[in-house]
Amino acid sequence: MKQDPAQPSVSQQTTEGDPLGARLKLSFATIVLGQTVSTFGSSLTAFVLGVWVYQETGSVLQFSLITFFSIAPQLVALPFAGVLVDRWNRRWAMLLADTGAGLSTLILFGLISVDRLGITHLYLLVATSAIFGALQGLAFSAATPLLVPAKSLPRANGLVELSFATSLAAAPTAAGFLLGTIGLTGVILIDVTTFLCAAVTLLISRVPDTGPAKTHVAQPSGLWRQMIFGWSYIRKRKGLLALLLLFAVINFIQGMVVVLLTPLVLGFASPIELGAVMSTSIGGLLAGGACFTLWGGPQGHHVRTILACLAIQGTALLLGGLRASVTLVATVAFIYMFFQAVILACSRTIWQSLVDPAVQGRVFAVRRLVVTSARPLAFLLAGPLADRLFEPWMEPGGALAGSIGAVLGVGQGRGIGLFFMCMGLAALAALAVSFRYRPLLELDRV
């Protein structure tokens, strides 16, 4: 799929008038709607498959492998996907991705219908969907600046965060209800239908071609050089490189928090109260996305807004570990996720505004690869650090029970509370370094 000759390039549209006018904005809104519906369907499937695996095997390891196979293949596929996104019209790239993921889900439906689904089949299909998901995510992110005027990018990215957060918030409750009424096959069939919806919205929309690079960018030949081009592009731009490394550190910290939030709350509260905390955190993400969309973003101050929000998040983590209190943890979770929506929208806007549209596929692939890689590492380290160090330290008679324990309390979950506070300090330390790095701050002036 080369560039679609029927689709005028950005430069062509500029000369013909109304380059990013009402029709392209309508295309953006239509595509967002289709992708939101598709995300909702995928979230339904992810929930019910997790339930199915745990009920069939009773194994936490088998359950956790679903997450592994939904992430690891993306890391491998991203460099290839980035090259394809830059070579193809981005509408066709998204359409291929949605079609591939939809076919994987359809095969899953067929195996369940004839009672032939095995764990190995499931992992292979989840991995396949993850690969197509990598292509879809890159193509959608790179298509946004082709559809939305530069001044409207912050508001558009806020809308994206709000839409996807709404899908993620509604899916668990809906999946639980549907699983009890129409069963596993019914839920999977709904997911197939949502992929069809996403495909239809792409077919009726238009996405311009990128046209030639706006700035002189040496284009290497050969697949391998094309794959590493994104890293070379970022490395030569110190501000973008600093932003990438900052997000890798913060994503690592967030991975630790995600893994340990459940044992932290269950150390002093019931599963019902844990559910309330989780719901509150999702509410924060929704509220943050809604406020950012209405606000329209900080014109010209996206980096400083990100740093300010990260400071609030780091402080929230510090406070969250102080006491074994559901109210405190729920409040911290709401605040943390509220500003997470703002951070993600600002970050998308920076990269979409500063990276040449002709190379965004490859550059965004590297960006996602580096940031996403931090999460699996955090998942692997969080448990052992909590179980073998922090929790024993904060048990009655532990190494820190008589010092820090006198302030934070001792017993189950208090070590994880201390761990949260350490993560907050780490976030603030990364922030202090970032505030002193001028190329990062100067991104706001570009």
What are the residues whose beta carbons fall under 8 Å from the beta carbon of 208, sequence distance 6 or more? 7, 8, 9, 10, 12, 13, 19, 24, 146, 147
Residue type, 54: Y
* Residues in contact with 265: Cβ distance below 8 Å, sequence separation at least 6, in sequence order: 273, 274, 277, 326, 329, 413
Quote the CA–CA distance of 143 and 29 in Å, as a whole number. Answer: 12
CB contact at 8 A, 122 and 53: yes
| Phi/psi-derived region of residue 300, left when phi > 0, alpha when psi is between -120 and 50, beta in every other case | left
- Terminal Cα-to-Cα distance of the chain (whole angstroms): 34
Mean pLDDT (10-residue bins), the chain, 446 residues: 45 42 82 92 86 75 76 89 91 94 93 88 92 93 90 90 84 83 91 94 88 60 78 93 95 88 84 82 91 85 94 93 90 94 94 92 93 84 86 90 88 87 94 93 82
CATH 1.20.1250.20 domain extents, the chain = 19-206, 229-445
Q: Is the dihedral of CA 23, 92, 140, 238 positive or negative?
A: negative
**Encoded tokens for 61:** 């390891």
Q: How far is Cα 242 from Cα 238, in angstroms, rounded to an integer?
A: 6
pLDDT given for residue 21 in this prediction: 58
Strands (E), 325-425: none
Domain 229-445, what architecture? Up-down Bundle (1.20)
* Residue 8 DSSP class: P
Please name the fold of domain 19-206: Growth Hormone; Chain: A; (1.20.1250)
Secondary structure of residue 439 in the 3-state scheme: helix
